[in-house]
Structure 1
Amino acid sequence: MTISNEAPAGIVTVELEPLREEKKKIFEDILQYFETHQRGYIKVPTGWGKTFLSKHIMKKYYDEGKLVLFLVSKNNPLLSQTYYDRKKNQPLFPNSALLSSEQKGDRNELAAALKAFEQGKGEGFVLFASLQTVLGKQGSEIKDLILEYTDLAIVDEIHNFINNRGNDFLNDLGERTKILGMTATPFQGVVGNVKFVDEIAGDMREVYAKTLPECILDEELAPLKYTIAESSEDIFEIFDFEKGLDELDKQDLFLDCSTADKLKKVIRRTQLAKDVYDSMVKHRKVKTLVFCAPVRKRVYGAGASGEEINAFHAKLTASVFNGEISVPELEKDPDPVLPVEFDNYTPEGEFKDTAFMTSELPKEEQSALLTAFREIGKPPSVLCTVGMLIEGFDFPGLEALVLLRPTLSMRLFEQQVGRVTRLSPVSGKQKGSIFEISDNIDSLYQRFGEGVFNGEKVDQVQMLQPEIRLEELFSEGDAARAIAEGKIEINKVDFSAPKGTGKERQIREVPVRLPPTAIRAKYFSRLLSLTEEKDIGAFEREKRELMRASLRFRVRELRDAEEFLELSAKINKLKREAYEDRRLGDVSRQHKPKVFIEIEWLLKLQALNSLKYDGSHLSPPEKNRILKILGFDPDFRKIDSNRLKCLKSGSAQKTIPDLVKVLGFVSRLSSSDTYQFLDKKKKEQWKREFLPAVYWGFCFLDDSPELRELFESTEWDRRVKNIIRQK
């Protein structure tokens, strides 16, 4: 713990660089918000400058003689960066304290300082603290003083405070305390089980938000180039699916290196990352960060006596990038043993061009490694790590990122992307470049069959596809404009050489289109095929997942409409066949055709909705042609009547008032207080009869104030919230 009370007599002015005009307006809006509200949060991308804005807010309260708490969950580097004025090598606020796991100090001294502040009520006080130290065994008195005296709590990375001890601490703060959360990603968890910041408390509200595309267009963040390199490997053969699709309930998959064959596949995949780097990055000699995958089991042929190796993939990747592992030689060896000792240093004691960062390295070595990595033009040029440096790593000069770890968490994905979007006048960075190695996920449908319909697995499987994740990332803000202006670029690369020519491999870049309608249509067809093969039951799971998938589609151009038309024709064919399928029992014969009918019309409704609300870039003739392709009158003026036609033809509720009535019932039943007391029969009825109305209702939010009020209610249970917010 460090306490600064160096202020001389009289008022000491804290000097900060001025805010830009746009941020001045945001600053004033936040202060005005807290005149009538207690809690709120801002959502802005990593690198936007939320910490800098927070310093101005701290200064405002500090100058008014108030106590400010700057709180993080566990990121001590961020704490010290915010506490110190690096230019002056002293604390930013003269009357302040730093309390973290690295600055424990005398708790009695801090307690005395807090009491003295409250009694004096003259100059302000700023406490920079991590949650662990505040809640630690020795911090009970300090915790009580913070809860009693704090006027403003600024919580960085507030998404780390959802439904946990941090959440409890925030709720223990009294009415005196204003709470301002800051986050780039206001949610936690994997697809299908996501928790949101506004669950912290009923009065937590978004105060300000700006999207990544908007920040790039406004030149607040660097332009972004995202490149996908498809490996030839089957994801089932590379990663550990010991627990089947339940492995997708975590935010990461684990590599399987337990046999000679699997180890070779992992090394081949890692070599592809090196090929991408050598061809597209290395000649520019820019700083590159590689996020590697965790390994659960022991590694074949490596480690003393078969012991597990900490952060094995980070070490392996560093060795592959340094050319210490010969992939062709390993391929020939039926019993490969890795011919390296994992080491970050050259014989001369300098860092190698590629190094690895792991938690087992001594703190001094980690610090030296990061210092060297931040020096432009000096080794290491490439730094490999598994889970470190995803949050709180502030290095604007970082220009390239390689993703070797598929993630099921959009929050984690956004944090990774944010590492390269900061502007850097020092390094001369023109854009941030991201390279992802992706694997073939088709086998998951083949191996697990209709099991993909269990427990949100459809969304989780498809999150492994980079294009799907990128569409989610750019679902807000004017991404289409940013892409059209070349500020966001998304490509796939092909490194295959022409066979029999003897020529070196040539890089071929192919633009990736968003929305990825062809890819969504491919996996939607797989879900339809799995449903077609099933011949028993009421098809409730299949219906819900197909409805969820339907609302993911977008129509931005004619090609999208043509994909919709093909899907619609396929569903219509399956509907006819279901009516004639003699294998089906009475229950299935009753429900299966109805499932296809509802899905067909919901899919058409989603096409019309996206055309209406996202089609401003299309000309009237283009819109009319799309309507004709979709099977409607080619007159855009009739789009609302056509939307209602879809509702009447496919839904159990035929009018918007019917939807309002049913969804009001859903809202009451879905609250946690009510749902837990429903018997099994009632829960099944809720899922079968009422939950589908959520999808239809979502399509008519802008047509009914009553529906919008229901959907914006904080009473919805998370089962429904995940439908609403992940649409």
Structure 2
Amino acid sequence: MKLRDYQEESVKRIFQEWDVGHKKTLLVLPTGTGKTIVFSKVAEEAVRQGKRVLILAHRGELLNQAADKIEKSTGLSVSKEKAEETSIGSWTRITVGSVQSMAQAKRLSRFSPDHFDVIIVDEAHHTLSSTYQTVLKHFESANVLGVTATPDRGDMQNLGQLFDSLAYEYTLPKAIKSSYLTPIKALTLPIHLDLKGVKQTAGDFNATQVGHILDPYLEAIADEMVEHARDRKTVVFLPLVKTSQKFTELLNQKGFKAAEVNGNSKDRDEVLKDFDDGKYNVLCNSMLLTEGWDSPAVDCVVVLRPTKVRSLYSQMVGRGTRLYPGKSELLLLDFLWHTDRHELVHPAHLIAEDVEVAKRATEKIEESDEPVNIEEIIEEAAEDVTNEREEALAKQLEKLRTKKKRLVDPIQFEMQIQDKDLQNYVPMFGQELDPPTIEQLNQIEKAGIDQTSIDSKGKADELLKRVNYRNQQDLSTPKQIRQLEQRGYNNVANWKFDQAKVLIDQIAANKWRSIHSKAQAEIYQPS
């Protein structure tokens, strides 16, 4: 099977991370971009190197999918650790295991700690749970790959408690622009739902309370679906089974062909097949279909289960992002959820990593009466937020310019070289979170930058990378930039070192008096 370019690159990067000693590394791929294919190829390469591989998942569907995909894409046989099935005594070098089964002390004790050389965790946002930790700690010497579709830096910081590095990240916007996933249009429906009194359970909104709040609005929501989604193939996510069942009845009364599935549905497989075959055009569920189920024809997702968990929201929406013949877009229906807390996830969070941009984009989506392309709205929101930030930072920079300070403030340097990645950098993994070393701080100060506000090893490393790159390219130094911009010269960060040096030498020869007027300095370009 020929891999896509990003899939090939991700496999390469994963082994590079392990080779440099990052034993636990992450792969981030949006739902629908082939994460199972990628980790199948990782497993295949590990086997080629003579290693044993364990693939962990928490649901039977995921285990079966992984086993099937590995056998089809690599030709390798797979054994299972699940219920009565075991890999003990098997000649296969790849095992797919249920984490619930593997975490049992009796089963785990059958394996020596060095039995597996590589462990791959599907849906890696679950790895912080005690069952996963039990298994990972037992096989402590193994290299670990976590695979997730997490789109949000907040979730990534949580995963950073366990993982040492991010091997590769392929974003949803890139996948859409490369035509690997379908574009998403969002529509906020004018139904006001008040979550202010809802408690949180296990880090998210309490499902029972959300169900009670939602119940009086179900008919109005069904009417909105008649208007916007009558001819679409739709999946609806609801907080409770009884709410899902009630909503299914309402939709059928409104003329939809709706069905409901839950964990106790004896005919679940039959219903899912009938949905694929077109017998039903709406499928309601209480969070059952977030993982391990795909129906590429889905072109509408209705989220009636508000959440503060980005990974969960991404999985819900991911049920509709796959390509399908004749499908031009995914319609994502959202609602006016009101909460005192700001962590509620909206469609904009699928694309925007920046909290302020997501907030501004959400406001724009809510103001529109028509479905809007999320990417386009994010671009507009990002421009608005950037302009406001630049205005605020410009004022801050002006204050810094007037300071008679020997060293350049890091914020000033970041603005001068116009490096947004450096400005927005947040440490997430392993040693990145540690305090900066004395050597790093000394190097930063030697470069002419004030090191007192640098609070992490990761930030110090990123700052020094920029300084070293500029040195290699013979670009102006932080000290030169500060010296000349204080005298009214513009864009000095783009000058060569020698160009800045010549002008500073001329000013020094003039007893540190300016050799250009203010107007001349503003338009001055070095020759």
TM-score bracket relative to the smaller structure: 0.5 to 0.7
| Inter-partner Cα distance in structure 2 for 1:152 and 1:269 | 49
Instruction: Name the SS of the counterpart of 2:224 in structure 1.
Output: helix
How far off its partner does 1:178 sit? 1.7
The answer as to 2:115 corresponding to 1:288 is no
Q: 1:48 aligns with which of 17, 33, 45?
A: 33
Pair 1:360 & 2:264 matched: yes
Question: 1:628-648: CA deviations, max 9, x gaps?
Answer: xx6x9xxxxx66623648999
Letter of the 1:223 partner, please give it.
P
When the two chains are superposed, the root-mean-square deviation of aligned CA atoms in Å is 4.4
- Distance apart, 1:704 and its partner CA: 6.2
Q: Which amino acid in 2 is paired with 1:24?
A: E
Percent identity for Structure 1 against Structure 2: 20
CA separation of 1:39 and 1:234: change in aligned 2, threshold 3 A: closer
Map Cα deviations across residues 319-350 of structure 1 (whole Å, 9 max, x no partner): 1111179xxxxxxxxxxxxxxxxxxxxxxxxx
| 1:365-401 alpha-carbon deviations (Å, 9 max, x no partner) | 11111122222xx222111111211122222222210
Q: Distance in 2 between matches of 1:233 and 1:476?
A: 26
Deviations 1:174-195 (A, max 9, x none): 43x221111112889xx8x996
Which residue of 152, 156, 165 maps to 2:118?
Answer: 152
Find the aligned partners of 1:20 and 1:400 in 2 and give their Cα distance. 27
Tell me, yes or no, if structure 1 residue 134 matches structure 2 residue 102: yes
Which TM-score applies when normalising by structure 1? 0.50
Change (3 A) 1:86 1:208: closer
Is 1:96 the counterpart of 2:78? The answer is yes
> Please, which runs of 5 or more residues in structure 1 have no aligned partner?
1-16, 118-123, 295-310, 326-351, 445-460, 495-506, 518-553, 562-606, 612-626, 633-637, 649-653, 659-666, 672-702, 715-727
Where does residue 189 of structure 2 map in the other structure?
A: 229
Residues 324, 419 of structure 1: alpha-carbon distance in 2 compared, 3 angstrom cutoff: closer
What's the TM-score, normalizing by structure 2?
A: 0.68
AA partner of residue 98 (structure 1): K
- Corresponding residue to 1:389 among 282, 289, 304: 289
Pairwise CA distance, 1:46: 1.3
Mapping of residues 414-453 of structure 1, within 5 Å = 414-424=314-324, 427-441=325-339
- 1:36 is aligned to 2:13: no
Alignment of 1:198-597 (within 5 A): 198-200=160-162, 204-235=164-195, 241=197, 246-247=199-200, 250-254=203-207, 266-283=214-231, 286-294=232-240, 311-323=241-253, 353-362=257-266, 365-375=267-277, 378-424=278-324, 427-441=325-339, 461-464=341-344, 469-476=346-353, 491-492=365-366, 556-557=383-384
Please report how far the alpha carbon of residue 83 of structure 1 lies from its aligned counterpart in structure 2 after TM superposition. Answer: 0.8
CA distance in 2, matches of 1:397, 1:152: 35
Equivalent in the alignment of 2:7: 23
- Contact 1:167–1:200 (CA under 8 A) maintained in structure 2: no
Partner of 2:470: none
> Which of 1 and 2 has higher RCO (CA within 8 Å, sep 6+)?
2
**Structure 1 stretches (4+) deviating beyond 6 angstroms?**
510-513, 645-648, 703-706
CA spacing shift, 1:95–1:414, aligned 2, 3 Å: closer
For residues 160 and 367 of structure 2, the distance between their equivalents in structure 1, rounded to whole angstroms, comes to 40
Alignment partner of 1:61 is 2:31: no
What is the letter of the counterpart of residue 67 of structure 2? Y
Instruction: Could you tell me which runs of 5 or more consecutive residues in structure 2 were left unpaired when the two chains were aligned.
Output: 412-426, 432-448, 461-527
Q: Secondary structure at the match of 2:312?
A: helix
Give, in angstroms, the shift of residue 254 of structure 1.
3.7
Q: State whether structure 2 residue 35 is matched by structure 1 residue 77.
A: no
Change over 3 Å in CA distance of 1:59–1:232 after alignment to 2 = closer
Is 1:79–1:129's contact at 8 Å kept on the other side of the alignment? yes
Among residues 397, 401, 418, which one is paired with 1:641 in the alignment?
Answer: 397
The letter for the 1-side match of 2:350 is L
- Asked whether the 8 Å contact 2:33–2:175 carries over to 1, the reply is yes
Give the Cα separation in 2 of the matches to 1:429 and 1:490: 25
Contact 2:55 2:95 in 1 (8 A): yes
Deviation at 1:272, TM superposition (A): 2.8
